Amino acid sequence: RKEVEQDPGPFNVPEGATVAFNCTYSNSASQSFFWYRQDCRKEPKLLMSVYSSGNEDGRFTAQLNRASQYISLLIRDSKLSDSATYLCVVGTGNQFYFGTGTSLTVIP
């Protein structure tokens, strides 16, 4: 079983829509969780860390569900500029595991 599973999509949504991505992880001892954004042919950039209490940054909300071992990213009021690939990263000790990425295209 993979350490991290992520729906690759693609997700094609209209501007203004709300879209959510999930990522499941297999190791219950995992301690750190992140969402990254990767634009085409560029390096991934940290979007937000995911805390146990959940966290929000503007239109973006990240949540952690330890019982079901998944993290989620919610994007509200999608903008064209949100089109990218979103990667989840799960850390266990000194090891970090990436999801395959979810492709999002926001359509005018």
Partner 1 sequence: GAVVSQHPSRVICKSGTSVKIECRSLDFQATTMFWYRQFPKQSLMLMATSNEGSKATYEQGVEKDKFLINHASLTLSTLTVTSAHPEDSSFYICSAAPGGGSGYTFGSGTRLTVV
Q: Which residues bind partner 1 (CB under 8 A)?
A: 32, 34, 36, 41-46, 49, 87, 89, 94, 96-101
Whether 104 contacts 18, CB under 8 Å: no
- C-alpha 54/C-alpha 64 separation (Å) is 6
**Which residue lies nearer to partner 1 by CB, 75 or 89?**
89
* Class of residue 10 by CB neighbours under 10 A (exposed 0-12, middle 13-18, buried 19+): exposed
> From the CB of 34, what's the least distance to partner 1, in Å?
4
> From the CB of 52, what's the least distance to partner 1, in Å?
12
Q: Which of 12, 9, 17 lies closest to 99 in space, CA to CA?
A: 9
**Which residue lies nearer to partner 1 by CB, 51 or 79?**
51
> From the CB of 77, what's the least distance to partner 1, in Å?
25
